[in-house]
Structure formats: structure tokens, C-alpha cells
Amino acid sequence: MISLKSSREIHDMEASGAVLAGMHIGMREIIKPGISSWVIEEFAREYFQDRGAVAAQIGFEGYEFATCVSVNDEICHGFPRKELILQEGDLVKVDTVVEYDGAFSDSCWSYAVGQVSPQIQDLMKVTKESLYLGIDAAQVGKRLGDIGAVIQHFTEDEHGYGDVRDFVGHGIGPTMHEDPMVAHYGIAGKGKRLQNGMTITIEPMINTGTWEADTSDPSGWVARTADGGWSCQYEHTIAITNDGPKILTSQDPQADAEYLLADYEELFTPHAEAAKRIAQHYQNK
């Protein structure tokens, strides 16, 4: 069942999203060649505790960590690992869900470790642009297929990348995952109609090669590209409103100004400042 949120509930999710976005600001400070991917997990846990937020992924269907840290050919659900040392040129995806005062938010961001190749720079650029094309399509009266179609056309038809089918976006709030499922491929004009008050994630996962995923990892969690190509992901939680789509997890209130509720920057700024402060403790690990 799809739940429609009141303006108060959306405001609560916006506050949660501002906390989560702050975490990603801290990631910019600590992700670099030579660190263990476990540092990402340590930082996230300390930051969430400092902000009074709950790392909602811990315990979800048996998952043990606050973050998913997926590197290079790992599409999603990679574990933070002490033995995994990030190398110059790696591509790291950090995904997490936060519960803050009872409201959920979900966001993944991709990070270049040092200097990545021109091909990976282009993959990152195209994937991020596809996220915003999907957000632009998330208008009241449009259909879920309009979101998927514009992402698929841009990433596959125009740029020749693989648009992952196995993992999709979803409704969020009052629980972590709920209806509707939000595919990043599809046919325009098809699917459920978007309504004022819906809150969803849009999270395209785009590969350098095939769209197909290998989900045979013994852990039952980690998904990789079927051909060994690299994968990129960007994700925002958004609210569908009569005033257009509103991003609830923005890391850049200036660039995202047209997509934000009026008080977002005020909510976000103290969390971003706290994340930078806490990140200083991790920069030499």
C-alpha cells in the first residue's frame, strides 16, 4: 500500500534527510587512497551518534553495518571491510538509511578515490545527471514509468551504459522500504500515477558494460556486475508535491535550490559543520 504523507511528515523526513546529507559531506573529507573502507563505517557510526540519529540499516534483514560500501564492480550492498584498502582510481559507493525522530531517509553517493580514469569520470557524470532527469520527471500526474524511461534512455540509448534492472528505488516512510517500487527503466506513461504526498527514492545504478548483475555472492548481500565492469550510483529521497519534486537529502542547497523546501538549508548547515568536525579525527587513519 502506498502511503501519502502530510506536510508535517514530509518536514520530519526533510530533517532526517538533512542529517543523512551531512554524513556525505564528511565522506568527502575522509575518502582517499590508503584508507580502509572500515573507516567509512566508523565515521558514519560516530557521526550518527553525535547527531542523535539511528543507523537504520543495522539489523535490517540481518544486515550488520551502518553503511553499504561498494567498490568498483560491486553494484550495491557491499560490506565495509577492515582489509579493503582503497586505491588511487577506485570508485566507492556509500549508501545508508537514517532514522531521525522517527522519520526515515535514504541516500547513496559515489566518490572518486584520488583521480579516476576519464571513463569513470564520465560514468559518474552520466549517472548523476540521470538521477536529476528522473527527479525532474517525478511530477504530480505523471507515472512511475516516466521516471524509468527518461533514465534508461539517457544512460543506455544516449551513452551506451548498462542500466541495472535487479535493484530499484522504493517508497520510504513510515518504514524503510515500502510501495511503490521505482524502477530506473521502463515505458513512459505506464505504471502507477504519482500523487502529492508520495515519498520515494530514485537511485539509478549504472554500469560501464552490461546491466546484468551477479547476485551469487555467498554472503547473500553483495551484488556485482555480471561482466566485471564498474558500477556507479547516486540516490536521493524525494517528496512528490504540487509544487514539484522536493529533494529531502540534498548535499548542496545552493545547486539544488529549485528542488528544496524553504527551510532545508537551515536544517542542513549544522549537520554539515558537525560532519566536517568529526571527519577531522579520521583523516589520518
Is 236 labeled as ligand-binding? Answer: no
- Does some domain include residue 239? yes
Q: How many domains does the chain have?
A: 1
Is 88 labeled as ligand-binding? Answer: no
What's the CA gap between 240 and 258, in Å, rounded? 14
Is 203 labeled as ligand-binding? Answer: yes
- Does some domain include residue 105? yes
- Does some domain include residue 75? yes
- Contact present, 9 and 173 (Cβ < 8 Å): yes
What letter represents residue 117's amino acid?
S
- Does some domain include residue 1? no
Helix 37-51 and helix 264-279, axial crossing angle in degrees, nearest 10:
130
- Does some domain include residue 112? yes
- Does some domain include residue 136? yes
Residue range of the domain that includes 25: 7-282
Is 77 labeled as ligand-binding? Answer: yes
pTM of the model: 0.97
- Does some domain include residue 2? no
- Does some domain include residue 206? yes
Is 170 labeled as ligand-binding? Answer: yes
Q: What is the CATH number of the domain that holds 248?
A: 3.90.230.10
pLDDT in tens, the chain (285 residues): 899 999 999 999 999 999 999 999 999 999 999 999 999 999 999 999 999 999 999 999 999 999 999 999 999 999 999 999 999 999 999 999 999 999 999 999 999 999 999 999 999 999 999 999 999 999 999 999 999 999 999 999 999 999 999 999 999 999 999 999 999 999 999 999 999 999 999 999 999 999 999 999 999 999 999 999 999 999 999 999 999 999 999 999 999 999 999 999 999 999 999 999 999 998 766
Helix 7-30 and helix 37-51, axial crossing angle in degrees, nearest 10:
140
